Amino acid sequence: MEAMKNKLLVIILLSFAICCLVLTVALTVEPTLTEILHIGLEGEVSVEASELEAVSFDFGRLSSRGEKTTLAVVRPASLDDVVKVVKAANKWPPFAVSARGHGHSINGQADTRMKGVVVEMGKGIKGPKVWEKEMYVDVWGGELWIDVLKATMEYGLAPMSWTDYLYLSVGGTLSNAGISGQTFNYGPQISNVFELDVVTGKGEVMTCSEERNSDLFHAVLGGLGQFGIITRARIALQPAPQRVRWIRVLYSNFSTFSKDQEFLISLHGKPASQRFDYVEGFVIVDEGLINNWRSSFFSPSNPVKISSLNADGGVLYCLEITKNYHQGNADSVDEEIQGLLKKLDFIPTSVFTTDVPYVDFLNRVHKAELKLRSKGLWEISHPWLNLFVPKSRIEDFDKGVFKGILENKTSGPILIYPMNKNKWDHRSSVVTPDEEVFYLVAFLRSALDAETLEYLTNENRQIMRFCHDSEMKVKQYLPHYTTLQDWMDHFGDKWTQFNAMKMQFDPRRILATGQRIFDFVQPSTVITKDDM
């Protein structure tokens, strides 16, 4: 009898061990193409090696994982397709889902990082719908801003806030902030959105706004794609001008330059006739750059020489400003411009002016892109670094970086311009310095070869180390970190809320894994009843 009991116990234990083994195997299996290819999509699904490789590269071209992580590329034909992909990703075993707009990220943020699917949002969806009387436009999340502009201009309307480059997706810029020279006046693009449709990480479609699901609305704006995929955005419009008077003036002294920039953005509450419509600037540490970058402002037959302008520390600063107008008030524009310029303290002989259609001004960077593409200089590495620097430390930054670390050498434009914090909604996920005025400093450099890439990458590290050691409290724009602690430090007081929103709207952490903020829920993770 005792022998039979022992035999029965052995059988039970063996059965239990086999069950555990089966469960372990089931939980560690990777997602297969079967689940991805057979979820009934209207759009396209591709597993071609060349297409998997193509989506593994972004504008930065700093890394590529290719087929190692991307199992398939989905081109949705509808909102329902996006929902189906996300819901399929939540089944066990789960897989990562990355929404890709125009692929203009720098550090692989649009990559899946783990095994998963890239959803190309810009394919197969109808264009913008303009509501002329209501003064807004409904836009698919993958739509490019250039196409939004073209659609709204047919009604004589345009969005208020822009980025310098228009071949970016709406969902992509709204997931970061969307900034340019209009930000001082209208705020970033995320401050000019009325409503969003979002597919959360749980596959739920939620419409959100200030009044409806407001917690998700504010979390998604500047949320780096962590809480949901933006499938529709309702964007505020205003009457569009016809033309732009585009002006550049030079400074040899940084204090004077920054004082004038800060004065100009302080006019944001004034009537249009008493302020400029766009305020940016750039740093010139390389004499060739001023004569070749972005436009033909400076005549090749009469190039500007840094040495002839008594540049402080061998560095010049260019203030870039514009005045929008209609043909009917062209005469008054010159008077308004002269009145504003008299209040500035630039080098008197350095005023350069041109006049262009409004659309041409907004799309100005695309012309430079076409030139670079024709020379094979577009699809190269771009180790960009974008920083928000507090106003109180911007002169220290000038001395330590522009006149120090850079050593009168660069490999691309360096933008610098201030913004007003009160134009940013503190409820969004974006993190900015805790001062009323802060600067964007953007190092938009390019690397033709591995040696240059290594040099610029090391220089970026030096800049970040200098900021850290000087306790400048800068914040990265388009942030990139590789450790959880760095992300927690980046978000600061916002981290607790950010983490809570992630757990609420994407508990399996399948979305935007390329940002490297949250660890993907691995198939070996223990399943609870709530997961079933």
User: Active-site residues: which are they?
Assistant: 104, 164, 280
Sorted by sequence, the CB contacts under 8 Å of residue 96 that are 6+ apart come out as 69, 89, 112, 113, 114, 115, 116, 117, 510, 511, 513, 520
Q: Is 194 strand, coil or helix?
A: strand
Cβ–Cβ < 8 Å for 116, 513: yes
Sorted by sequence, the CB contacts under 8 Å of residue 243 that are 6+ apart come out as 324, 325, 326, 327, 330, 355, 356, 357, 358
Cβ–Cβ < 8 Å for 177, 189: yes
Neighbours of 101 (CB within 10 A): 24
Distance between CA 219 and CA 322 in Å, rounded?
A: 33
Residue 82 backbone phi and psi in degrees, to 5: -65, -45
Q: Is 40 strand, coil or helix?
A: coil
Give the residue among 194, 250, 199 at the shortest CA–CA distance from 228. Answer: 199
- Two structure tokens written together for 452: 């240059």
- Two structure tokens written together for 249: 């003036």
Cβ–Cβ < 8 Å for 172, 385: no
Residue 240 backbone phi and psi in degrees, to 5: -90, 140
Residues linked to residue 137 through DSSP beta bridges, in sequence order: 130, 235
Give the residue among 321, 317, 324, 345 at the shortest CA–CA distance from 415. Answer: 317
> What would you report as the CA-atom Rg of the chain, rounded to the nearest whole angstrom?
26
What is the CA angle 448-453-455, rounded to 5? Answer: 125
State how far the alpha carbon of 522 is from the alpha carbons of 409, 476, 488, in Å. Answer: 45, 29, 22
